[in-house]
Chains A and B, each alone.
Chain A
Amino acid sequence: MLYREAGQFKTNYAEDMAIFPIRQDRIALAVLLGLAFIGVPLLASFRIWPFRTDYLLWAILLPFLILALAAVGTNILVGYCGQISLGSGAFMAIGAYSAYKLATGVHIPLAWLGFAIAIPPLPVLASILLGGLMAACAGILFGIPSLRIKGLYLAVATLAAQFFFDWAFLRLPWFTNYAPSGSVNAPELDFFGMIVRTPVERYLLCLLFVSVMAVLAKNLVRGNLGRQWMAIRDMDIAAELIGIRPLYAKLTAFAVSSFIIGVAGALWAFVYLGSWEPLAFSIDRSLELLFMVIIGGLGSIMGSFIGAAFILIMPIMLNVIPTELGLPLSTQTITHLQFIIFGSLICYLLIKEPHGFARLISIGKEKLRLWPFPY
């Protein structure tokens, strides 16, 4: 009834090819963005329910935004280009540690040449973006095997990246500026004189990064490059025959995906954790990101967000609800229940809809369009 596009005529190609061709979608998105950019900060600064404490901002929204960004990156590689990767955690770590090194100043003594490479501490924004760039370079490097190996074998090759970087950041004290405990502290978040400190400011910063990058990613996958990736994903031999270079397509997918994941990693470390150790980017994180895109929907930017929400927020909800309801359950029972319910939910969802939430939503949209006579 409300969701019907009758009467919306498109008079030029630009309108026809818009990201959101349906007016209701545009309105919904505008409302969502308005809520996210204006509503949430307003509610939070006046401490109105549910923002009476920082909990929702700090412990839910902030990690959700950053992990959603990382999931978008993972989705570009896994969902759009069809290259299974288990190295997302490593690329996050590269982003985080490169940004950390750049923000605190790089000093590489080359004793045998008689000089040293020294880069003074860079501003935080530059560090975060360059951190993403470093991740992109590493992504390209570890993407090279994808030209020869496919599927599960590629997953194993990217797993090597995961273990290598886990090892490097744990063992090479240079990366942590020789911190005795191996745990490093993020520098002050100084953006052109504006210092980001409070949860609301941190939230807005991440929101800005996520929105800009999601729009860029969405446009990339709709354009020439995205079509090349999808062609490679669907059938690489056919793609090659119609003139798509697998080298270029695969490596750009690795680069773009790793860049986004790297920026997410830098944000995760700088904005969310503030102080971190390599365990924050372990293999668990890689698997988590992979599950996010599988459950959210492979090959869907929106799916990445929903997947991130499901994987991150659902377990916390399952954990909080029994306590809030005042059920007399012990902590370990609640935790075990959380695992059981969450696990069964995933099984149920994947049986009912193997293509994830994004698919569920598009089915829902179709049905709404045909309402009241959906078939």
Chain B
Amino acid sequence: MASIARNVLMLAAALAGAALSAPAAAQTEQFIPILSYRTGPYAVNGAPYANGVVDYYSLINERDGGINGVKILTEECETGYATDKGVECYERLKSKGPTGAAFINPLSTGITFALTEKTATDKIPIITMGYGRADSKNGAVFAYNFPLLGTYWSAADIAIQYVAKELGGFDKLKGRKISLLYHDSPYGKEPIPMLQVLAQKYGFDFTPIPVTHPGVEQKSQWLAIRQNRPDYVLVWGWGVMNSTAIKEAAAVAYPRDKMIGVWWSGAEPDVTPAGDQAAGYKSLMLQHGAGKFLVHADIEKYLYAKGKGSTEPGKIGEILYNRGMTNAMLGVEAIRKAQEKFGKKPLTGEQVRWGLENLVLTADRIKELGFEGMLKPVSISCSDHEGARYGRVQQWVGKGWKVISDWYTADESLIEPLVADVSAKYAAEKKIKPRDCAKET
């Protein structure tokens, strides 16, 4: 009993200490929360991404002294890719700093779904670059969601465009069999409606095959693929599911060059565990690929040369690291844009939302930022919260990724009706009155 009492006392003392010693937040910093996962079955992909995000914010602070002099203050919270923990992290971090969170980037479609309503109430933009809910492209209904650079519907369309190119034309798709091996979560299910639309239009036979979280058990799925012999298998996996899929494909002798992963299934940790078996595997690219560009030189100079980097120097320039960096850059540029209107001080989420919605990155500006070669011009507006929908295809050649295709642009004429339809349903369900984008400034 006595020892328990002592422990309780010690805990209380520690808590009191925490309450007293909590540093008074400086009033001149912009707070940006980082939801990451460096543990659990998705850590292999979550960690490099988080490193990219952290390093880019540090770079802005170290090289430029902040965004126009407003230093960035960050705090990381581990979600483990679990929705409930993600919501807890969001609640923990949303009102920190002098003006609360500038924006939130959960790196999980499940957490995005759970937060969509909350962020709209709290007036904090939610940036889901290359993931999230595809219908949130419609900014009139989803004022606070920004699925930048590409939704899963864009990805699905680009993947089918590539398949058609390989087969020799869209008319060759007729009668073909295309399967979707997907992570059984909102993430994996997002592309299904778009693929169904495409299947109907081009007359191919579409089969969705779910894989249960975390995706290490795929024997029966690949048995079904072996029996069905689809012409292509699209892989919508994440974490350990991707490398498992490649290994299982090898086990049933399914050709790896007929597998096309989404941009979340095409990074180094997805192929290296499968070793030689991964050779030939293809994946989409969310514009950028692996490799170092101008901005990486600054990262090495200002951070890694001074020992302030967040990972091993050899890992700079990996695909997910680059994606984390791109994501952080878009957030920072949105804050910069918002500062033009609201002044060079820490901004609220609502103000940053304006910055995001009016963000335009020209080729010149991208070059200035050191992202030339990673990114094409982006232009976000009220009616288009995606901003750009380009993609390429890369192939794993055993040692590295090789870009094997030209740029593709997702076909808006197919995506737009679906976006309008699904977002209108959401608006009706949630009693949201869509904004009139013509009147937004």
Contact = CB atoms under 8 A, between A and B. Distances in A.
B295 interface: no
A280 B87 CA distance: 12
Nearest to A352: B4
Nearest to A52: B95
Nearest to B78: A335
A335 B14 contact: no
Nearest to A274: B117
Contacts of A54: 91, 95
A334 B78 contact: yes
B117 A331 contact: no
A316 B83 contact: no
A276 B36 CA distance: 20
B77 A324 contact: no
Contacts of B43: 332
A276 B114 contact: yes
A335 B80 contact: yes
Interface in A268-305: 273-277, 279-280
Given A331-B38, A331-B76, A325 B14 contact: yes
Contacts of A181: 109, 113, 133, 186, 189-190
B269 to A, nearest CB: 16
Chain A binding surface SS class? helix
A63 B91 CA distance: 12
A53 B90 CA distance: 12
Given A58-B91, A316-B88, A188 B431 contact: yes
A277 B23 contact: no
Nearest to B15: A321
A187 B189 CA distance: 22
Contacts of B166: none
Nearest to A167: B212
| Residue picked from B21, B36, B39, most chain A C-beta under 10 Å | B39
A130 B217 CA distance: 37
Given A53-B95, A273-B114, A277-B110, A180 B87 contact: no
B18 A324 contact: yes
A183 interface: yes
B184 interface: yes
Contacts of B80: 335
B114 A185 contact: no
A332 B77 CA distance: 9
Contact of A335 (B39, B88, B92, B117): B39
A277 B83 CA distance: 9
B29 to A, nearest CB: 16
B379 to A, nearest CB: 27
Interface in B104-150: 109-110, 113-114, 116-118, 121, 133
A105 to B, nearest CB: 12
B314 interface: no
A55 B114 contact: no
A306 B134 CA distance: 42
A336 interface: yes
| Residue picked from A185, A197, A336, most chain B C-beta under 10 Å | A185
Interface string A322-351: 011110001110111000000000000000
Interface in B412-437: 422, 426, 429-431
B213 interface: yes
Contact of B189 (A182, A274, A319, A325): A182
Contact of B39 (A53, A188, A332): A332
Contacts of B23: 326
B35 to A, nearest CB: 10
Contacts of B95: 53-55
B438 interface: no
A108 B23 CA distance: 59
A275 B111 CA distance: 10
Interface in B21-36: 21-23, 36
Interface string A168-204: 0011000000001111010110000000010000000
B239 to A, nearest CB: 14
Nearest to A276: B114
B274 interface: no
A149 interface: no
Given A181-B190, A185-B117, A316-B88, A279 B83 contact: yes
Nearest to A285: B84
B113 A275 contact: yes
A187 B431 CA distance: 10
A280 B88 contact: no
B213 A331 contact: no
A59 interface: yes
Contacts of B22: 324, 326
A287 B306 CA distance: 47
A159 B118 CA distance: 33
Contact of B92 (A197, A320, A326, A367): A320
A183 B186 contact: yes
B17 interface: yes
Contacts of B429: 185, 187
A331 B36 contact: yes
B368 interface: no
Contact of B430 (A59, A63, A185): A185
A316 B84 CA distance: 12
B329 interface: no
B185 interface: yes
B193 interface: yes
B422 A180 contact: yes
A327 to B, nearest CB: 10
A71 B5 CA distance: 27
Nearest to B88: A59
Contacts of A279: 83, 110, 185, 213
Contacts of A280: 83-84
A287 to B, nearest CB: 14
| Residue picked from B114, B121, B210, most chain A C-beta under 10 Å | B114
B46 to A, nearest CB: 10
A275 B114 contact: yes
Given A185-B429, A279-B213, A59 B83 contact: no
Interface in B283-310: none
A59 B117 CA distance: 16
B171 interface: no
B229 to A, nearest CB: 24
Contacts of A326: 21-23
B440 interface: no
22 contacts: A55-B91, A59-B92, A170-B210, A171-B210, A180-B190, A183-B110, A183-B113, A185-B117, A185-B430, A197-B121, A273-B114, A275-B113, A276-B114, A277-B83, A277-B110, A277-B186, A279-B185, A279-B213, A323-B75, A324-B22, A325-B14, A335-B78
Interface of A: 53-55, 58-59, 63, 170-171, 180-183, 185, 187-188, 197, 273-277, 279-280, 316, 319-321, 323-326, 330-332, 334-336, 364, 367
Interface of B: 1, 14-15, 17-18, 21-23, 36, 38-39, 43, 47, 50, 75-78, 80, 83-84, 87-88, 91-92, 94-95, 109-110, 113-114, 116-118, 121, 133, 184-186, 189-190, 192-193, 210, 213, 422, 426, 429-431
Nearest 8 A/B pairs, CB to CB: A59-B91, A332-B38, A181-B186, A53-B95, A324-B18, A180-B193, A183-B113, A331-B76
